[in-house]
Amino acid sequence: MSKAARTYVAVFGGYRCDEATAAAAEEVGRLLAEAGCIVVTGGREGVAAAASRGAQHAGGLTLGILPSRDRSEANDWVTVAVPTGLGETRNALVVMDADAVIAFPGLDGTLSEMAFALLGGAPVVSLGGWELARDGEAESRIVPADSPASAVAAALALSRSS
């Protein structure tokens, strides 16, 4: 399949996550892989590891954009690891030019990834965590989802490559 036909979806969330969140992230990864998407993550633990595991077990290709200079920092389910040496600034690259992103609950790094996704114009689907408002109005560009299946369906429907 040619590069032009591939859809890249970034999945991000906490570096630490509970079992229910990990299961949901793994399911998101699996569904994205089954839809033929390349799953992009920050390449490390928590939500990134679970989503990559789900995608790779379903035969998908996963891309991990790492903070350090060291490829071995990637989790075991990253097909292609990209060391950046940018530290947390690499969060901007995780979502750069993504066709859509799916956000799980997380901390400040997750917030920065939501910000850069919005800045870059990617559709943002949220499975909880950060809620953003500006001047008293909820941010309308963030699409809430209540399950892995609905998150993936929304991401694919809104995807810039579709």
Q: Are 121 and 143 in contact (CB under 8 A)?
A: no
Q: Are 45 and 16 in contact (CB under 8 A)?
A: yes
Select 130 or 156, whichever has its Cβ closest to its own copies: 130
Q: Taking CB under 8 A as the rule, which mask of x and - marks residues 67-106 in contact with its own copies?
A: --xxxx-x-x-xxxxxxxxxxxx-xxx--xx-------x-
The helix (run of H) or strand (run of E) holding residue 41 is strand 38-41
Classify the C-alpha dihedral 161-39-113-28 as positive or negative: positive
Task: Name, in order, each residue with C-beta under 8 angstroms of 14's C-beta and a sequence gap of 6 or more.
Answer: 21, 46, 47, 104, 105, 106, 107, 110, 129
Question: Considering only residues 23, 58, 115, 142, which one is a binding residue for its own copies as defined by CB under 8 A?
Answer: 115
Residue 150 in contact with its own copies, rule: CB under 8 A = no
Among positions 4-23, residues that touch its own copies (CB under 8 A) are 4, 8
CB-based burial of residue 118 (10 Å sphere; 0-12 exposed, 13-18 middle, 19+ buried)? Answer: middle
User: Least CB distance from residue 104 to its own copies, whole Å?
Assistant: 12
Instruction: Give the range of 18-26, 65-73, 142-150, 151-159 binding its own copies by CB under 8 A.
Output: 65-73
Residue 59 in contact with its own copies, rule: CB under 8 A = no
Interface size with its own copies, residues (CB under 8 A): 52
Select 66 or 151, whichever has its Cβ closest to its own copies: 66
User: Least CB distance from residue 43 to its own copies, whole Å?
Assistant: 10
User: By the criterion CB under 8 A, which residues form the site for its own copies?
Assistant: 2-4, 8, 38, 61, 63, 65, 69-72, 74, 76, 78-89, 91-93, 96-97, 105, 107-109, 111-112, 114-116, 118-120, 128-136
